[in-house]
Structure 1
Amino acid sequence: MSDNKHKQDGREDSNVDLNDASEVAYAAKQAGVTSARYKELAKASGSSSRAKIAEYIKTHAKA
């Protein structure tokens, strides 16, 4: 069964697929950083959770 992006129940929205450039770009725009910087910070946070990455960005670096 393939991934149906039109039928979501919220689970997909809680994480960022760091291999999907459009998801990274959207999350980076929301965080106010570049896509490359977002990926660096996401890896440093040790998580793909949007909330955990956002918290990491707030507490560590936004530049």
Structure 2
Amino acid sequence: MADDKSKRDSRDRDRVSGDQEYEVGYFASKFQLTIPEVRELIRKYGNDRETLEREAKALGSR
């Protein structure tokens, strides 16, 4: 089901939806990762944005 972009609040901002291609693509480009790498991070750590950003930075520095 697609996001309803007319409903804007902060509840969704702290999560990364692995089902939404544009969210995965944005996250991948932000941290210079591939889409499979982002999907693996989501699978491994869940969809909490703060946790994913921390792990993506750690992955990028290796």
Q: Give the TM-score normalised by the residue count of structure 1.
A: 0.75
1:7 CA drift (Å): 2.5
CA distance in 1, matches of 2:38, 2:48: 12
**Structure-1 residue corresponding to 2:38:** 38
Write out per-residue CA displacement over residues 13-54 of structure 1, whole angstroms, 9 at most, x where no aligned residue.
211110111110011111220111111122122x20111101
Alignment: residue pair count: 59
Stretches of 4+ moved more than 3 A in 1? none
- Cα distance in 1 for partners of 2:43, 2:4 equals 27
Aligned residues of 2:31 and 2:57 also touching (Cα < 8 A): no
Within a 5 Å distance, the mapping from 1:21-32 to structure 2 comes to 21-32=21-32
5+ long unaligned stretches in structure 2: none
Structure 2 length as normaliser, TM-score? 0.75
Corresponding residue for residue 16 of structure 2: 16
Distance in 2, Cα, partners of 1:4 & 1:57: 27
Distance 2:20 2:42 in 1: 13
